Chain A
Amino acid sequence: MPKYLLLKHYRGGPEQHHPFPPMDQWAPADVEAHFAFLTHLGDLLRESGELVDVQALTPAQTWVRYGGPDAAPVATDGPHPEVSDLVAGWYLVDVDSRERALEIAAQISSEPGPGGGPLYEWIDVREVMSHAPSQVTEPA
C-alpha cells in the first residue's frame, strides 16, 4: 500500500482560500472545536488502520550547512522572507490509493476555524517513495 505524507504548513502554499486570524484571536469555543476535530480525526485514522505517524513541529527553524574543513557548521535562524515555506506538522498515512490520501487531506482541511466553519487550509500531499518495486515481475 502506498504511503503519503500530508503536510500542514505554517505559511507557504497557494493563496489562502479563506484567510483567518491567528488562533489566539478565535473565540474560546472555536478553539475547543478545532482541537476536538483534530483529536477525533486522529482517532478515526488510527481505528481504520491507516495512521502511521502524526507529529507537530515547532515554528523555530534553523538552516545548517557544513562549514568546510576545520570550520564550524554554518547556521542561520529563520524567518527567511525568501523561503516562504514552513512545515507545521504532518500525518503519515498508509492507504489503498492516492484518492484515499487526497480524501483524508481534504478532511484535515475541513477542520473548523473561527465561527465554526471550515478553514479550507491547503494540505501538501506527498507520496513516500517505496523500498520495493510496486510490481514484482520475473525477468523475461
Chain B
Amino acid sequence: VIDAPTRDEGALRALVPRVLAGLVRRGEDFHDAEDALQEALLEAMRVWPEHPPRDPRAWLTTVATRRLVDARRSEAARVRREETTDAEPRPGPTEEGDDTLFLLFLCCSPELAPASQVALTLRAVGGLTTREIADAFYVPEATMAQRISRAKRTLHGRRLDSLGDLAVVLRVLYLVYTAGHAGRVDLATEAIRLARQLTLATEEPEARGLLALMLLNHARLAARFDAEGRIVPLDRQDRRLWDARQIAEGVRVLQSALALERPGRYQIEAAIAALHDDAATTEETDWPQILAWYDDLVVLSDDPVRQDPAAMLGRAVAVGHVIGPAAGLRETDRLREVLGGRHRWHAVRGHLHELGGDLAAAADAYAEAARLATDVAEREHLVRQAARARAAG
C-alpha cells in the first residue's frame, strides 16, 4: 500500500499539485518551487523503486524543500553583497481553497498566452514532464522547455492572493482536451482528470458542464477511428463501441450542473453531446431537441454569426435535419462571409447537399473542404467523402 506511487505514475502525478501548492502557500516563489519539485520528482523516480517512501507526499515536500534551501544558500552570498533587506518570507495567500484550483488559476493567468497556459498547467498541475508535453504538441523538447520557462518568468514574484478567472481555466482545460489523442501522451484523458479535480474544488456549474462535455465526447473515441486510423463520422459509427459507463457518468454530471439552473455554453454543448450519445441509431437522433439547445447556445452571443460561428454552423446542421436540407443550406448562407474560407463550412454544406440528394453539389463541397482542411486525417476523410459522393452521383 505504502509504496504504491512508485508503481503508479498516475498516483505520483496526482501528488504534484498538492505538494507544489503546499510549498507556495508556505511562501515559496512559484517559479523556484516548481523547479525544485521537478528535481524532486526525478529523484523520486530514481530512488523509490529501491527505497519506497513511507509517505510519498512528505518525501517530495522534504526533498523539494532541501533543493530550495540549497538554491537559496548559493543565492544568499549574492543577496548579501547587494545588501537586500527583503529577508522575511513573502506572505502566503490567505484564502484556503483546494490546491488544484489554486494552481490552475495561477497557471491560467491571463498574462500568459494560451499555449503557455496549457504547457504550464500540464506541468505544474498535471505533473507531466517537459518531454511529454513536447511530444504531445509535436515540438522539440527545447522549444517546450523555453515556452515553460518564459511562462514561469512572467509569473515570477507575482503575488498569489488574487485569484483569476474561472472562464480562462475552463478554456485552457478544453484546449488541452481538444489538443487530442494523437500524441504519445493522452491529453484528452489528462484534461478529464484535471476537470474532475476542478469539479471537486468548485460548485460552479460550468466546470461540471465542461467535465460532462468531455466525458460525453470521449465516450465515442473508440468508434471515431477505424483500424486503419480513418475518421468515421458520427452517423456511421458503430454505437456498440461507445463507452456506456462514461456516457452515464457524463449524463449524471450534466444533470447535477443543470439542476443549479445557471446554464452556460459548456452545459449546453454537453446537453447536445448527450442527445447524440442517447440515440441507439443515427435515425433515432432527437434533432428537434438538439435544435432547441442550439437556439439556447446562439443567444448567449449578441452577434452569434460573428462571435460564435461554430455554434451557428452546428445549428445549421440541426435545421437541415429538422426542417430540411434546403433550410439548413440557407442558414449556412448567412455564415458565408465569416466562414466561407474555412473547411468546416464547406464540409457542412456537403453534408446538407448529400442529405438533400444532390450528390454532385455534395462532392464539389467536400472537395473544396478537403482543399481547405488543415488536418491530415480530416483532409483524407473529406477526399474520401468527395470521391464517394462523386461515384454515387
Chain A positions near chain B (C-beta within 8 angstroms)? 22-28, 30-32, 35-36, 39, 56, 58-60
Contact = CB atoms under 8 A, between A and B. Distances in A.
A58 B373 CA distance: 7
B387 A24 contact: yes
Interface stretch (B8-16, B144-152, B301-309, B363-371): B363-371
Contacts of A36: 228
Contacts of B228: 36, 39
Contacts of A27: 387, 391
Interface stretch (B33-41, B163-171, B378-386): B378-386
Nearest to B385: A24
Given A24-B363, A27-B391, A56-B376, A32 B371 contact: no
Given A23-B386, A26-B387, A27-B391, 17 more contacts: A23-B370, A23-B383, A23-B387, A24-B366, A24-B367, A24-B383, A24-B386, A24-B387, A25-B387, A28-B384, A28-B387, A28-B388, A31-B384, A31-B387, A35-B380, A58-B374, A60-B372
A131 B17 CA distance: 43
12 contacts: A24-B363, A24-B367, A24-B383, A24-B387, A28-B384, A31-B383, A31-B384, A36-B228, A39-B229, A56-B376, A59-B371, A60-B372
A34 to B, nearest CB: 9
A24 B374 contact: no
Contact of B370 (A24, A28, A32, A39): A24
Sorted from nearest, which 5 A-B pairs have the closest CB atoms?
Answer: A24-B386, A24-B367, A31-B387, A28-B387, A28-B388
B390 interface: yes
B390 A25 contact: yes
A54 to B, nearest CB: 10
Contacts of A35: 380
Contacts of B376: 56
B372 A32 contact: no
Contacts of B383: 23-24, 31
Contacts of B390: 24-25
Nearest to B363: A24
Nearest to B229: A39
Nearest to A54: B376
B359 to A, nearest CB: 12
Main secondary structure of the interface of B (DSSP, over half): helix
Nearest to B343: A58
A58 B379 CA distance: 10
B271 to A, nearest CB: 34
The range of chain B's interface size is 20 to 34
A58 B367 CA distance: 14
Nearest to B391: A28
Nearest to B370: A24
Contacts of A23: 370, 383, 386-387
A32 B391 CA distance: 14
A63 B131 CA distance: 34
B372 A58 contact: yes
A59 B229 CA distance: 23
Contacts of A30: 387
Contacts of A59: 371
B318 to A, nearest CB: 27
B366 to A, nearest CB: 7
A39 B374 CA distance: 18
Contacts of B373: 58
Nearest to B373: A58
A22 B383 CA distance: 10
Contacts of A32: 384
A35 B374 CA distance: 17
A27 to B, nearest CB: 6
Q: Which of B370, B372, B384 has the most CB of A within 10 A?
A: B384
A22, A24, A28 pick with most chain B CB within 10 angstroms:
A24
A4 B123 CA distance: 36
Nearest to A27: B391
Contacts of B229: 39
A39 to B, nearest CB: 7
Contacts of A28: 384, 387-388, 391
B61 to A, nearest CB: 42
Contacts of B386: 23-24
Interface in B223-265: 228-229
Interface in B337-393: 363, 366-367, 370-374, 376, 379-380, 383-384, 386-388, 390-391
A36 B386 CA distance: 17
Nearest to B371: A59
Contacts of B379: 56
A9 to B, nearest CB: 15
A60 B370 CA distance: 12
Q: Which of B363, B383, B388, B390 counts the most chain A CB atoms within 10 A?
A: B383
